[in-house]
Amino acid sequence: MEVLGPDRVTDGSAARRLYSRDGSVIEGGRAGPVCFPETTGEVVGCVQAARAHGRAFVPRGAGTGLTGGSVPCDDPVMIVTTRMNQILEVDRGRRVAWVEPGVVNLDLAHHLAGSGLHFAPDPSSQQACTIGGNVANNSGGPHCLAYGVTSAHVAAVEVVLSDGTVVVLGEEQGDSVGLDLRGAFVGGEGTLGVATKIAVRLTQDPPKVATLLLDFVEVADAATTVSAIIAAGVLPAALELMDRRVVEAVEPFVHAGYPLDAAAVLIVELDGLPGGVAHEVGLVTRIGSQGGARTVRLAADDAERDRIWKGRKSAFGAIANIRPDYYLHDTVIPRTKLAGVLDEVYAIAERHDLLVMNVFHAGDGNLHPLLLFDSREPGVMERVLAAGEEIVRASLAAGGVLSGEHGIGLEKRRFMSLQFSPEDLAAQDALRRAFDPDGIANPLKVLPTGASCGDVNALDVVPDGVWV
């Protein structure tokens, strides 16, 4: 069976090593043949070829995931969708765009610029992550506080199931009849099939946007101000917190005017009708000042607003100047517990002799503590992983959940039983098997199965050298 030409399939050792990792610290197995389909039909062929040779398959986009979600186990066929990168249709009247899964999130934003519409999910990896990856992990971003995560902005998905069948889940317009299988697929992390076309909902640009920067001498004051803003009835488009170490890392690069002596800065973005935005700017200014903010700065123009946001979205890249490696978590906690859990995060890092930096979606309590380290240091990974587990357990103890937008992947599946009952997990497994009865779509991810990534999949594995 020949599905793809030799220029779009590789089994070279370098490629297989490259596609055995993602943006996380998670190590898994080894990639099998790496395939680069360009059409839905070619994805069908890749899935059918995988089945014919007794292989599992793993859908993969840009590889920016942070939980090992696209890390392969047991030599699966890697179906890389980055060449499926066309914006197929934009219908401004119906506010829908059909895109292929390999479209980069920021490329879609640029394509829509000036149209009066935009795609609201804006992960910090926006410059590299793809819409297919956003769908797989139900990604969010700073503006998900007001606008919701990816699931709220996907109308329909064309999917290749694990038997090669092509189905469309959801409806381009209106609500689909029957079970919301689209909602089940979004956030499925590639365990339910391969997305090949996606109908995304577009959001109207707000008539007025105001971006404020508040700085604090205590991180706890910034965290408390977050809750106070929401309690006052203000729902910002975005509400982001960065601590001193993050500010020190990004300010020399972006020159956004972040005060280097602040313990924390808070970015508050408000949008809507001009009168309402002006009223909320006054409220936030008063709440921030009463909560301990030294200054409240309103961005004077779009250029200043862009600099403020560039600093926030450059945070992960900027830390390379401090340590070469980082381990990023993604738990969510109640907003009222922010100050206490942040204190615990700092204490955990100190106990394990690690440097931690905090930059996160404070408005919805989505923590992103960065544990910085140098992987060449003997024994450091054990300390990093131990600290990461303590952060997860502290978040759950505070009434939180395992993930806000990065997914579960390989990294957090062993913690699933801390959040879900056996009955919950059985229901999720039943749903997964309804889509993929043989368990060949991105196996050993998300749900705790008892097997490890090093174990052989239930399907027989053919010898090396038998490829698509």
- Answer yes or no: is 428 within a domain: no
Residues 365, 343, single domain; the answer is yes
Query: At residue 464, what is the residue type?
Result: D
| CATH number of the domain encompassing residue 331 | 3.30.70.2740
Contact 26, 72 (CB under 8 A): no
What are the pLDDT digits (tens) for 252-304? 989 999 999 999 999 999 999 999 999 999 999 999 999 999 999 999 999 99
CA separation for the pair 165, 150 (Å, rounded)? 25
- Other CB atoms closer than 10 Å to residue 190's CB: what's the count? 28
Both tokens of 34, joined, read 């790496």
Residues 13, 91, single domain; the answer is no
Residues 235, 312, single domain; the answer is yes
What are the pLDDT digits (tens) for 282-292? 999 999 999 99
| CATH number of the domain encompassing residue 164 | 3.30.465.10
CA separation for the pair 150, 152 (Å, rounded)? 5
- Answer yes or no: is 130 within a domain: yes
Domain boundary among 66, 81, 96: 81
Both tokens of 369, joined, read 């503590």
Residues 177, 219, single domain; the answer is no
Secondary structure percentages of the chain, helix, strand, coil, to 5: 35, 20, 45
- Answer yes or no: is 110 within a domain: yes
Domain boundary among 204, 219, 254: 204
Collapsing DSSP to helix, strand or coil, 403 comes out as: coil
Rounded to a whole number of angstroms, the distance between the first and last alpha carbons of the chain is: 7
- Answer yes or no: is 459 within a domain: no
Residues 246, 291, single domain; the answer is yes
Residues 183, 217, single domain; the answer is no
Residues 243, 286, single domain; the answer is yes
| CATH number of the domain encompassing residue 235 | 3.30.70.2190
CA separation for the pair 191, 193 (Å, rounded)? 6
Residues 105, 183, single domain; the answer is yes
Residues 309, 328, single domain; the answer is no
Contact 293, 354 (CB under 8 A): no
Q: What angle do CA 247, 253, 254 make, to 5 degrees?
A: 80
- Answer yes or no: is 285 within a domain: yes
Residues 160, 235, single domain; the answer is no
- Answer yes or no: is 301 within a domain: yes
Predicted model pTM:
0.93
CA separation for the pair 102, 131 (Å, rounded)? 6
CA separation for the pair 226, 268 (Å, rounded)? 9
Close Cβ partners of 174 (under 8 Å, ≥ 6 residues apart): none
CA separation for the pair 111, 31 (Å, rounded)? 34
| CATH number of the domain encompassing residue 13 | 3.30.43.10
Number of structural domains the chain divides into: 4
Q: H helices of 138-197, where?
A: 144-147, 181-185
Residues 57, 110, single domain; the answer is no
Q: H helices of 233-368, where?
A: 244-254, 274-290, 302-313, 315-318, 338-351
CA separation for the pair 161, 152 (Å, rounded)? 22
Residues 196, 214, single domain; the answer is no
- Answer yes or no: is 423 within a domain: no
The helix-helix angle for 219-231 and 274-290 (nearest 10°) equals 140
- Domain of 391? 323-410
- Answer yes or no: is 92 within a domain: yes
CA separation for the pair 436, 190 (Å, rounded)? 11
In tens digits, the chain (468 residues) has pLDDT values of 678 999 999 999 999 999 999 999 998 889 999 999 999 999 999 999 999 999 999 999 999 999 999 999 999 999 999 999 999 999 999 999 999 999 999 999 999 999 999 999 999 899 999 999 999 999 999 999 999 999 999 999 999 999 999 999 999 887 767 899 999 999 999 999 999 999 999 999 999 999 999 999 999 999 999 999 999 999 999 999 999 999 999 999 899 999 999 999 999 999 999 999 999 999 999 999 999 999 999 999 999 999 999 999 888 888 888 999 999 989 999 999 999 999 999 999 999 999 999 999 999 999 999 999 999 999 999 999 999 999 999 999 999 999 999 999 999 999 999 999 999 999 999 999 999 999 999 999 999 987 767 553 333 333 333 223
Nearest to 31, CA basis, from 448, 447, 446, 442? 442
Domain boundary among 267, 288, 317: 317
